[in-house]
Amino acid sequence: MQNHNDHYDVIIIGTGAAGLSLALAVADQAQVLMISKANLNSGSTQYAQGGVSAVLDVHDSFESHIEDTLNAGAGLCDRDIVNFTVTHGPEQIHKLIEQGVPFTQRTSKSGKLDYHLTREGGHSHRRVIHADDATGAAIGSSLIERVRKHPNITVLERHLAIDLITGGKFKLDTRRCQGVYLLDRDADTVKAIRARFVVLSSGGAGKVYLYTSNPDVATGDGIAMAWRAGCRVANMEFIQFHPTCLYHPAAKSFLISEAVRGEGGHLLLPDGSRFMHHFDKRAELAPRDIVARAIDHEMKRIGSDSLFLDISHKSPEFITSHFPNIYARCLELGYDMTTEPIPVVPAAHYTCGGVMTDREGQTDIEGLFAIGEVSFTGLHGANRMASNSLLECLVFAHSASQKILHELDTVKMPDSLPAWDESRVTDSDEEVVVAHNWDELRRFMWDYVGIVRTTKRLQRAKHRIDLLRTEIEEYYRHFRITNDLIELRNLVEVADLIIRSAQLRKESRGLHYTLDYPRPAPLAHNTVLIPD
């Protein structure tokens, strides 16, 4: 790792699978800066349990994976992008295997050792390659180890991107993205760093909701920064709620993998009866939006704080070998999943919309790329199919890296950038305002813009968000910035985009379900928001 300086060929904001993969793909030919607002392994990738979907079995086919994805996406997937992603999947998996990712292997009936593939909701075949039930951590750890060793990659941990520096916004001689303003969380100082290319791989916005499976860093920073810089944003109304987060006060954000249902787990009411067959013929293997909505419906119908997931009818050996980490964590919290059901509740999990890009990750602004959950590629449509997210990270990191390397020698390093100006701000004497606003935002988003929506709920949310935005913008202009204030400013921006998008969709489709328009419209369309 080199010493920190004020310019790099490529700045990558976010250190999940997408950002790490892209860094390694370009670093042999470029000087790279990776920015993590916590530590290098704090992104959502580390929490991905299930695996990566790809066509790796002789009985499977690209056509089947494409059709499953299109079906889950409820008419809004871009078929060309789905085809592009699915057909490039296997090569990215083989690349990870070459890099040492320890995917789980099993001995087949014929005695041959091969990679174990599991099946998850929406998939018609076993095509999810995994590392036990901690796939994201295995992929992340392998990539991080290689990043830390690479001489051309500098890592800045505990640094938070405040805003992108673009020609249009800062009256420079080009509309191109020139770099980024960074807050050093420890030194409490702001620096401007130049770059030929800036890549957003900053993940989603789960923390906009009260209950989420996401880590604390998932505050929609990349989406908010790109929007402020002038990028279009699409389909923000489609927030995927994972059906099964462990319900326990100490189990913050702990996900019970889709694969538990894929391997035969049953969803139960408190009286022990199953209910999913009333909602979908696929029962527990229906896509996530259907399962989450069914759980939400039953919880509200009977007034219960949680429902239950039960796989105790399988042998203890099966459960502990397939789900060692989930089993251990549940046991720590007093639940033995080999002998009893575990309490679960839906939680905000994945942002299907995001910053609009092409198939190479290029946004509306020259030199600015977005890959992974922060982006909108057209892959997921109105509902992401399980385990297609890590696949998207890997495929688009590769395609973006190809474009960056192709253009690297033709792009001039920007000249000096305008310094961060805090000459007219003071230290805040009202930090409690940020905490109160943060709490209020997440509660009304959960109540009014959650799994089931209505026109009136969305109007209430829009009224509240307008007041909050005004208050926070005034606060931002007058007081010295802090980590919490930057995150809150971004969350409010993203919450506003979610609400506006939901208000524009006068139908129920995929993850967007409204009681006022319970059926899908005859024609499917994307919700595209354009900055003023």
158 is catalytic: no
Q: In the predicted model, is pLDDT for residue 457 greater than 50?
A: yes
What's the chain's average pLDDT?
A: 93
Q: In the predicted model, is pLDDT for residue 48 greater than 80?
A: no
**Amino acid 1: pLDDT:** 40
Q: In the predicted model, is pLDDT for residue 77 greater than 50?
A: yes
**Amino acid 417: pLDDT:** 87
Go through the chain and tell me how many residues it has: 532
Topology agreement, domain 7-101+135-237+352-410 and domain 242-348: no
Residue 284, sorted as left (phi over 0), alpha (psi -120 to 50) or beta, turns out to be alpha
pLDDT in tens, 389-406: 999 999 999 999 999 999
pLDDT in tens, 418-435: 888 887 777 776 778 888
Residue 5 pLDDT class (50, 70, 90 cuts): confident
d(CA 484, CA 431): 9
d(CA 386, CA 376): 17
Q: Which amino acid is at 267?
A: L
Q: How many CB atoms lie within 10 A of CB 448?
A: 21
**Amino acid 171: pLDDT:** 58
- Of 427, 453, 465, 429, whose CA–CA distance to 507 is shortest? 453
Give the ranges where 88-211 is alpha helix by DSSP (H): 89-98, 135-149
- Tokens linked to 317: 């050996």
The correct answer on CATH 3.50.50.60 for the domain covering 7-101+135-237+352-410 is yes
Residue 503 pLDDT class (50, 70, 90 cuts): very high
Q: Which amino acid is at 469?
A: R
Residue 172 pLDDT class (50, 70, 90 cuts): low
Residue 228 — φ and ψ, nearest 5°?
Answer: -65, -30
d(CA 127, CA 396): 20
Contact criterion met (CB below 8 Å) for 236 and 498: yes
Cα–Cα distances (Å) from 389 to 240, 384, 463, 515, 525, in that order, read 12, 8, 33, 29, 22
Q: Which amino acid is at 314?
A: K
Q: In the predicted model, is pLDDT for residue 527 greater than 70?
A: yes
**Amino acid 22: pLDDT:** 98
Q: Which amino acid is at 261?
A: R
**Amino acid 260: pLDDT:** 95
Scanning the structure block, which residue is given the tokens 């639940």? 335
Query: Where do the structural domains in the chain lie, given as residue ranges?
Result: 7-101+135-237+352-410, 242-348, 432-516
Q: Which of 288, 329, 359, 442 is catalytic?
A: 288
Q: How many CB atoms lie within 10 A of CB 237?
A: 26
In what helix (H) or strand (E) does residue 194 lie, and over which residues does it extend? Answer: strand 189-200
Share of the chain above pLDDT 90, in %: 79
Q: Any idea which architecture 432-516 has in CATH?
A: Up-down Bundle (1.20)
d(CA 340, CA 326): 14
Contact criterion met (CB below 8 Å) for 335 and 375: no
- Of 437, 443, 41, 50, whose CA–CA distance to 217 is shortest? 41
Indicate the CATH number for domain 242-348.
3.90.700.10
